[in-house]
């Protein structure tokens, strides 16, 4: 079964239900807003919003997804032979920095990354394996008082994040700096590193962990969302490079035309700053909806 970010957008427009606990509140699986948001995003991609039975949901997920995620490793799921998706929940309506923890920002995800699990790395071996995938960030602002999803961004990592070497070089700089300190017993880890034998008894270790964060897309792309204002409406934005948009089958684009014609959805050809060289601009597609 095929799916993509435009299928997710279509399902969002058809459902028009942003009350996450109303959808998932009866389940012991989605017992908090973070879990509920992740299920919601999976259901948007997998055409399973209307399915209430979670065992049946799992069956549907298996038709669309090659990997369903691990608690402490990116990504949250992978669409078969297509994109990876990382879900980020923001409590409240503010647009402050988004915590990424030890996972640096990603323009793409690579199978040789130390941050992913072996199950993720081998999830598509039956299809010949994978080396590099597009990654979509699903970033949702949740109003906990109303138990509603208020703002949702679905944006490709390559519209938002620089090349991975931009981030990885900082790990090397930090590692080299620590190794130059006299008398430090340093070992490399999947995070930044660890210093052993800190005290005279040699019983203490110092774990060095990167805590990444990134600006909210509402701030990064404020020049694209000047019409935004806080009210009771739900708003969603889908952003991708024109080159990625052109790879998606036209039938998925045509399925959105009725929503554009009705005024519920808008599609704009825009230019965004190149994450690797902000003085240059690249062509992109932005979908916007409010209801």
**Residue 25 has what pLDDT?**
67
Query: How much helix, strand and coil, in percent to the nearest 5, is found in the chain?
Result: 30, 30, 40
Phi/psi at 7 (nearest 5 deg)? -65, -45
Does 176 fall in a domain? no
Among residues 51, 41, 45, 12, the alpha carbon closest in space to that of 256 is found at 12
Burial, 14: exposed, middle or buried (Cβ in 10 Å; 0-12, 13-18, 19+)? middle
The two tokens of residue 281 are 């601009």
Q: Is residue 184 part of a domain?
A: no
pLDDT along the chain (291 residues), means of 10: 97 94 69 85 97 94 97 96 98 94 95 96 98 99 89 98 95 82 78 87 90 97 87 93 98 98 98 98 98 94
Packed helices 33-46 and 5-15: angle between N→C axes, nearest 10 degrees? 110
At 31 the pLDDT is 60
pLDDT at 187: 81
Query: Which tokens in the block code for residue 79?
Result: 């669409």
Q: How many domains does the chain have?
A: 1
pLDDT of residue 192: 79
Residue 80 falls inside a structural domain: yes
Q: Is residue 206 part of a domain?
A: no
Residue 202: inside a domain: no
User: How many of the other CB atoms lie within 10 Å of CB of 184?
Assistant: 14
Other C-beta atoms closer than 10 Å to the C-beta of 273 total: 16
Q: What local confidence, expressed as pLDDT, does residue 232 receive?
A: 77
For residue 169, is it within any domain? no
Instruction: Find the domain containing 17 and state its range.
Output: 5-162+212-290
Look at residue 20 in the predicted model and tell me its pLDDT: 86
Q: CA of 247: how far to CAs of 78, 100, 252, in Å?
A: 18, 28, 11
pTM above 0.75, yes or no: yes
Q: How far is CA 180 from CA 177, 184, 200, 239, in A?
A: 5, 8, 20, 43
Query: In this structure, is residue 192 part of a structural domain?
Result: no
Is 203 buried (19+), middle (13-18) or exposed (0-12) by CB count in 10 A?
Answer: exposed
Residue 196 forms part of a structural domain: no
Query: What's the order of all strands across the beta sheet hosting 185-187?
Result: 185-187, 193-196, 206-208
Model pLDDT, residue 242: 99
């Amino acid at each position: 079964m095929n799916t993509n970010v435009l299928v997710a957008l279509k399902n969002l427009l058809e459902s028009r239900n942003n009350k996450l606990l109303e959808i998932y509140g009866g389940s012991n699986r989605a017992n908090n807003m973070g879990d509920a948001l992740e299920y919601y995003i999976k259901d948007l991609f997998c055409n399973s919003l209307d399915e209430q039975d979670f065992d049946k949901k799992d069956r549907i997920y298996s038709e669309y997804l090659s990997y369903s995620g691990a608690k402490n490793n990116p990504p949250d799921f992978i669409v078969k032979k297509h994109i990876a998706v990382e879900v980020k929940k923001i409590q409240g309506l503010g647009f402050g920095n988004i915590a990424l923890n030890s996972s640096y920002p990603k323009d793409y995800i690579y199978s040789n990354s130390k941050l992913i699990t072996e199950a993720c790395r081998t999830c598509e071996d039956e299809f010949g394996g994978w080396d590099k995938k597009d990654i979509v960030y699903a970033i949702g602002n949740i109003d906990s008082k109303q138990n509603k999803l208020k703002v949702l961004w679905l944006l490709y990592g390559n519209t938002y994040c620089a090349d991975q070497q931009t981030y990885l070089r900082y790990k090397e700089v930090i590692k080299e700096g620590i190794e130059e300190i006299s008398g430090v017993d340093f070992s490399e880890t999947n995070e930044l590193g660890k210093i052993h034998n800190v005290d005279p008894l040699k019983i203490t270790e110092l774990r060095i962990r990167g805590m990444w964060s990134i600006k909210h897309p509402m701030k990064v792309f404020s020049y694209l969302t000047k019409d935004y204002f806080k009210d009771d409406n739900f708003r969603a934005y889908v952003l991708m490079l024109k080159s990625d948009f052109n790879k998606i089958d036209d039938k998925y684009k045509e399925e959105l035309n009725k929503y554009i014609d009705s005024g519920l959805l808008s599609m704009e050809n825009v230019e965004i700053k190149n994450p690797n060289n902000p003085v240059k601009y690249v062509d992109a597609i932005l979908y916007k909806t409010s209801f």
